[in-house]
Chains A and B, each alone.
Chain A
Amino acid sequence: MKCKVCSREVETLNQSGYCELHQNAYQRLQEKFDVWKTASNIDWKNYLQEVVRNPLTGTWAKEVAQNLLLSEAP
């Protein structure tokens, strides 16, 4: 199976559908949400939008955030 974001292979045990590199970025996004919530009282969707907009966000983290926004869109 190919990664939802890039064309790299997804490891068989990985349920998220991301390759190893994007999976790491996904984990970082989940970890940092708590810090954002405490700091600015923000919800998940707004958090992802902020992360996508921020020029300091890493390329893979941004790609995953964009992918999540698209997949979670109503």
Chain B
Amino acid sequence: MQPHTLIITEKPDAAQRIAEALDPQGKPKRNEERSVPYFTLTRDKPITIVPALGHLYTIIQEQGKRSDYPVFNYKWAPRHEAEKKANHIKTWIQVITHLAQDADNFIDACDYDIEGALIGYTILKYACGDKDQTATRMKYSTLTKEELEKSYAQQMPHLDFPMIEAGKTRHEVDWLYGINISRALTTAAKKTTGRYTTLSTGRVQGPTLKFLAAREHTINTFVPTPYWSITAQARIGDKTYPVDYEKRIIEKQTDADTIVQACSGKEGIIEQIEQKTTQLPPPTPFDLGSLQSEAYSLFGYTPRRTGQIAERLYLGALISYPRTSSQKLPPAIGYEAILKGLEQEPAYKSLASELLQKAQLKPWEGSKTDPAHPAVYPTGNKPKRMLEEPERRIWDLVTRRFMAVFGDAATKQSMKATINVNGHHFYLRGRQILSSGWMKYYKPYARSEEILLPSIKEGQTVQLTRVAREDKFTQPPPRYNPSSLLKMMEKEGIGTKATRAEIIETLYKRRYITDERIIVTDLGFDVVQVLRKHASSVISVKLTRDLEQKMDRIQDKMEKRENVLAEAIDTLRPVLDEMKRQETIIGQALTEALKKALMEERTIGTCPTCQTGKLMIIFSRRTGKRFIGCTNYFNNTCKTSFPLPQTGTVRPMRRMCESCGWPLLYVRIMGKRPWNLCFNPACPQKAERRKRLEMQGLQPRS
């Protein structure tokens, strides 16, 4: 290969975008070496662009057994040395090393954030042979041709080393916490149960679980108390309107009955009418957290899913870099050009044109900032492919939010009329939007419920048509859902915008939490109890937040990474010593919950034959085979059983078959596509399928 510039990107899609933007004809050559794609083009000189696959390097234990703890020796190594399933990484690194051999100039073009900085740095250092010191850096927030060309022309003279230091420290501290505490828990559990079960926790995972457990504790010990309220309706003209009683909560039933008696069927006088006009400012531009939260409440997408969709839209050059905590839109992004781009899209044409007529385009911004990227905004590009429905929704949401921030404040008028009935006061309330302002740009996502009232005046007589007592109970606090949990983590300053959604997913995977309205399992509860008793400092929110702030200060050159690492080890060492001393007690505390979790994992649902037993996945000691059996078999009252595939993984799906209503199983066998199995032999869908296959002359799968 002739001497060339080697550009490294974070993902294949980004490599293609950058190659297309930098090639004068927009048609770079796509090459492949051992299935690793890379692009070549000639600009001022030959350029090769090779992607990574996210992180190619990770941290591993330098020496010692995989179950040893405490472990404080580690090194950075290719990912395939740490993960069994990452063999393709070996080839990927070899190809990059090969392409680097003839390169005389190196450019890091990974995403401009902590993770991207670290991905680029480790590749330049380890795969390209210490090129981290001479490489330059491309910085961009969108993958549009204009911005990529500008970023290539105005490269940063070197890598962002403080950002790299911060990233390295974060990974190393997280590894130290995760590996040590997880090994301590797993070893303790194995000592008592004799079985190996991964029990993981982490620097952020632990405090997050502690939060959830605290809420679960409040809900589980909750005792509702009774109270009463009054509902009433007033007739004005020929219509009736709901009115609120002056006290929302009445603590005694007898008091509530007295009010009902005093007001039922009585007339009242409108004593006072109050009107208030308020200005509703536009919403702030999206940072990742607010985008995830809005997408959850509007479409029910989990934060992780929204993050993935936004990432795809970014790689398609439709929106700017989504992993940002900024709520600012600097003029440099070119408001006008973006709106002109949106004008080309029929759905946004009239709204964008209207905004372009404004004398000045000034966004309404939030207080949060991010030194690396602005808030999330649309690039103004049109999609080059048909977007999938979730992609289209997120793109539309980002686009409409972007337009809304340039809108005027909306004006809302609210009215409250006080009705006096026998000395008791009722309130008639109404509200309406006088001018929609930004709301029209944010339709249908702007929510404003209007209650229009008839014309009324003070002194007017009003008839109460219905007065009733309502029996109520105090409610427990609501359960967290993935979106509110993410918001809480953000508020408490634990985790980063890039990791919070993943941490929530891990809690689900580890069976510490279940359901969308999050319930902490017995296992999750007992892990928190154990950590609270024996390792309280590692689940302390305050300590986690302090550590988080120190890691942020590394990026601002106000803290040294050595100090942060030493502090992390100093915190961990006594905790791990204590856990080692108390291994048996910890193991015993976790045993019951682990047994229950294992049972739950094998429980499929209620037996359809006896309706009292539970169907379970059972392993026969005699034959060594697995099958589904009813728990009532053991007291000789039900002999229901069903066969199961003998290879691969089988687990209950917690969903019912749409055809017959029996519980479904998820089956995964190596080399085959996973499928949902209805084990009901008489399932109508199964009969239909069998018939169809027979007609095609194929053998149905058992």
- Residues of A whose CB lies within 8 Å of any CB of B are 7-9, 21, 24-25, 28-29, 31-32, 35-36, 38-40, 51, 54, 56-61
Cβ B221 vs Cβ A38 within 8 A: no
CB A65 to nearest CB in B, in angstroms, measures 8
Establish whether residues B226 and A25, one from each chain, have CB atoms under 8 Å apart when the complex forms: no
Q: How far is the CB of A26 from chain B (nearest CB, A)?
A: 9
Partner of A36, one of B217, B219, B225, B476: B225
B492 within 8 A of A: no
Q: B592 at interface (Cβ–Cβ under 8 A)?
A: yes
B252 contacts the other chain (CB 8 A): yes
Top-4 shortest CB links A-B: A58-B222, A58-B220, A32-B223, A56-B224
Query: Are A28's CB and B223's CB within 8 A?
Result: yes
Residues of B within 8 A of A (CB): 217-227, 251-253, 473-476, 525, 589, 592
Bound Cα distance A36, B227 (Å):
9
Given contacts A29-B223, A61-B220, 13 further A-B contacts (CB under 8 A): A8-B592, A24-B221, A28-B222, A35-B225, A36-B226, A38-B251, A39-B251, A39-B252, A56-B474, A57-B222, A58-B476, A61-B222, A61-B223
Docked CA distance A58–B218 (Å): 8
Q: Which residue of A lies closest to B526 (CB)?
A: A8
Q: A54 to B224, Cβ gap below 8 A?
A: yes
- Is B223 in contact with A58, judged by CB distance below 8 angstroms? yes
The answer to whether A57 touches B251, judged by C-beta atoms less than 8 angstroms apart, is no
**Are A21 and B253 also in contact (CB < 8 A) when A8-B592, A35-B225, A39-B226 are?**
no
Contacting residue for B475 out of A28, A29, A32, A56, CB 8 A: A56
Give the shortest distance, in Å, between A54 (CB) and chain B (any CB).
Answer: 5
* B592:A56 contact, CB within 8 angstroms: no
Q: Are A40 and B226 in touch, CB under 8 angstroms? A: yes
Bound form: Cα–Cα A16–B222 in Å = 19
* Contact B592 A21, beta carbon cutoff 8 Å: no
Beta-carbon contact of B224 and A24 below 8 Å: no
User: Which residues from A are CB-within-8-Å of B224?
Assistant: 51, 54, 56-57
Give the complex CA separation of A56 and B227 in angstroms: 14
User: Hey, which chain B residues are within 8 Å of A61, CB to CB?
Assistant: 220-223
Q: Which residues of B contact A56 (CB under 8 A)?
A: 222, 224, 473-476
User: Cβ of B223: which chain A residues have Cβ within 8 Å of it?
Assistant: 25, 28-29, 31-32, 51, 57-58, 61
10 contacts between A and B (CB under 8 A): A7-B592, A25-B221, A31-B223, A39-B253, A56-B474, A57-B223, A58-B218, A58-B219, A58-B223, A60-B221
Complex contacts, A21 vs chain B, CB 8 Å: 217, 220-221, 525
Query: Complex formed: what's the CA distance from A58 to B224 in Å?
Result: 9
Contacts of A25 in B (CB 8 A): 220-221, 223
Chain A residues in 8 Å Cβ range of B589: 9
Query: In the complex, what residue of chain B is closest to A2 when comparing beta carbons?
Result: B592
Using known A-B contacts A8-B592, A56-B473, determine if residue A39 contacts B221 with beta carbons closer than 8 Å: no
Closest to A33 in B: B223
Contact count A vs B, C-beta below 8 Å: 59
Assess whether A58 is in contact with B473, with CB atoms less than 8 Å apart: no
**In whole angstroms, what is the CA distance A9 to B593 when docked?**
13
A40 and B474 CA atoms in complex are apart in Å by: 14
Looking at the assembled complex, report how far the CB atom of B582 sits from the nearest CB atom of chain A, in whole angstroms. 14
Closest to B522 in A: A6
Contacts of A9 in B (CB 8 A): 589
Q: A33: shortest Cβ distance to chain B, in Å? A: 9
A28–B222 Cα gap in the complex (Å)?
7
Is the Cβ of A32 less than 8 Å from the Cβ of B225? yes
Complex CA–CA separation, A39 to B469 (angstroms): 14
- Hey, which chain A residues are within 8 Å of B592, CB to CB? 7-8
Q: Which residues of B contact A60 (CB under 8 A)?
A: 220-221
Q: How far is the CB of A38 from chain B (nearest CB, A)?
A: 7
Residues in chain B near residue A31, CB distance under 8 A: 223
Most chain B Cβ neighbours within 10 Å, of A8, A24, A36: A8
Closest Cβ of chain B to A47, distance in Å, is 9
**Considering residues B223, B226, B474, B475, which has the most beta carbons from chain A within 10 angstroms of its beta carbon?**
B223
Q: How far is the CB of B213 from chain A (nearest CB, A)?
A: 10
Contacting residue for A38 out of B220, B252, B474, CB 8 A:
B252
CB contacts (< 8 Å) of B475 on chain A: these are 56
Of listed B221, B226, B251, residue having the most chain A CB within 10 A: B221
Specify which chain A residues have a CB less than 8 angstroms from the CB of B227 in the assembled complex: 39
Cβ B221 vs Cβ A28 within 8 A: yes
- A24–B222 Cα distance when bound, in Å, is 10
- Nearest A residue to B525 via CB reads A21
Contact in complex: A40, B221 (CB < 8 Å): no
Q: Using A38-B251, A39-B252, A40-B253 as known contacts, say yes or no to A58 and B221 having CB atoms under 8 A apart.
A: yes
Instruction: Report the Cα distance A14→B476, complex, angstroms.
Output: 27
Closest Cβ neighbor of B475 among chain A residues: A56
Shortest Cβ distance from residue A19 to the other chain B in the assembled complex, whole angstroms: 10
Known contacts A38-B252, A39-B253, A59 near B225 by CB under 8 Å:
no
Contacts of A35 in B (CB 8 A): 225
| Chain A residue nearest to B219 in the complex (CB) | A58
A24 touches B217 (CB 8 A): yes
- In chain A, what residue has the closest Cβ to B254? A41
Q: How far is the CB of B216 from chain A (nearest CB, A)?
A: 9
Q: Give A25 to B225 CA distance when docked, in angstroms.
A: 14
Nearest chain-B residue to A26 (Cβ)? B221
- Smallest Cβ-Cβ distance to A23: which chain B residue: B221
Distance of B607 from chain A, by nearest CB (Å):
24
Q: Which of B220, B226, B475, B525 has the most CB of A within 10 A?
A: B220
CA distance A57 to B592 in the complex (A): 24
Q: A35 vs B227: C-alpha distance in the bound complex, in angstroms?
A: 10
Nearest CB of chain A from residue B6's CB, rounded to whole Å: 59
Q: Are the CB atoms of A39 and B220 closer together than 8 Å? A: no
**Residue in chain A with minimal CB distance to B228:** A39
Closest Cβ of chain B to A9, distance in Å, is 8
Query: Which residue of chain B is the closest to A19 with respect to CB atoms?
Result: B529
User: In the complex, A28 Cα to B252 Cα: how many Å?
Assistant: 20
B592's closest neighbor in chain A, by CB? Answer: A7
| A59 CA to B476 CA, complexed, in Å | 12
In the assembled complex, which residues on chain B have CB atoms less than 8 Å from the CB atom of A32? 223, 225
Across the two chains, which residue of chain A brings its CB closest to B226? A39
The answer for the CA separation of A28 and B218 in the assembled complex, in Å, is 10
Question: How far, in Å, is A8 (CB) from chain B's closest CB?
Answer: 7
A13→B475 CA distance, assembly (Å): 32
Least distance between A24 CB and chain B CB atoms (Å):
5
The residues of A that contact B219 with a CB separation of less than 8 Å are: 58
